[in-house]
Amino acid sequence: MTIDEFIARYGAGLEEINLMPRQQSLRAYERLAASFHKEDQRIGWRDDRVAGVAVRRFFICHQSPTSRYLAPIVYLHGGGWTLGSPASHHAAAEGLALELGREVISVDYRLMPEANYPQALQDCLDVVSRCAPAVLAGDSAGGRLAIDTAFRYRKTGSDILLGLIYPVVDVPHLDLLGADAPLFSRADVMSAWQLIADQAPAQSQLEPPASRIEILSVEQDPLSPMIARAASRWRSQGARVGEHMAPGMVHSALQARTQLTSMALAWQRFCRALDAQGQQSPLQP
């Protein structure tokens, strides 16, 4: 599949979803994502609850005795805080389980408008606090939830390794964003941000959300300049930050990572870097 083919097919699916009633759109979004992914039989999964929050657990079918006792990864899906579920982001969670050899717990946090951002954030924090994961990862809107969760988790005295995939960082503003891109324009960024602008906790500009952070971004994404600036700032504040760029790729390309060569290669670099950072001790604040 070429990136242009992905853009055309995914974009057409999103246009249809935007015309659907609320509940129908949620299921259609899951079907659209599933159309780009074939489940890997090496990974099993089951739906569960952790700290009262719905989750989907992904595990390696034939784990070694040692890997069964490794701390898990917690994953927070994207979808603009209004769409998405562990089902819609099944491929990403499955890929993390395969690449890092750990259980992945994908959080089915509450969505807007039925819930608000603080409630979604509390769901994520409750799962992280219960699981004490080795890695907290998230893409797009889920990347922002991962950052905010990590800030709050760090205030308890616990640090965590963050894996961020084209996350929403800082306070988006048109002057800070890059150019419009396929599937995700500057207006799309600002429209999504307005949903949580009055609810999201203010991010500290004086410290990074975690001492170890790996970031996967894409070339065609208005968020990418802001992500690069945040990474540079976090690094200057003492965090160990790795950055990985998928050339030619667009926001949402994670959904078809196994079919898009550039995305697949960047994903592998990102996962290997996460694994390497996980082998190192957390930095002291």
Q: Considering the domain boundaries, does residue 205 fall inside one?
A: yes
pLDDT along the chain (285 residues), means of 10: 97 96 96 92 94 96 68 97 97 95 96 97 97 96 98 88 97 97 97 96 86 97 98 96 98 95 97 91 59
What pLDDT, on the 0 to 100 scale, is given for residue 252? 96
- Can you point out the beta strands (E) in the chain? 43-50, 53-60, 73-76, 104-107, 135-139, 161-165, 212-220, 240-250
Task: Kindly state the DSSP code that residue 279 receives in the 8-state scheme.
Answer: T
What pLDDT, on the 0 to 100 scale, is given for residue 284? 54
Instruction: Return d(Cα 41, Cα 62) in angstroms, integer.
Output: 11
Q: Considering the domain boundaries, does residue 208 fall inside one?
A: yes
CATH code of the domain covering residue 180:
3.40.50.1820
Q: Could you give the number of structural domains in the chain?
A: 1
Q: Considering the domain boundaries, does residue 283 fall inside one?
A: no
* Short-list 9, 143, 21, CA closest to 89: 143
* CA 47 vs CA 53, 108, 145, 277, 280: distances in Å: 11, 10, 21, 29, 31
Q: Considering the domain boundaries, does residue 285 fall inside one?
A: no
* Short-list 138, 51, 161, CA closest to 86: 138
Q: Considering the domain boundaries, does residue 16 fall inside one?
A: yes
What pLDDT, on the 0 to 100 scale, is given for residue 26? 97
Q: Considering the domain boundaries, does residue 114 fall inside one?
A: yes
Q: Considering the domain boundaries, does residue 284 fall inside one?
A: no
Which residue type does 172 have? P
What pLDDT, on the 0 to 100 scale, is given for residue 282? 64
What pLDDT, on the 0 to 100 scale, is given for residue 61? 87
Instruction: Find all residues with CB under 8 Å of 112, minimum gap 6, and list them.
Output: 81, 82, 120, 195, 196
What pLDDT, on the 0 to 100 scale, is given for residue 40? 86
What pLDDT, on the 0 to 100 scale, is given for residue 206? 78
Tell me the residue range of the domain where 228 lies: 3-278
What pLDDT, on the 0 to 100 scale, is given for residue 67? 59
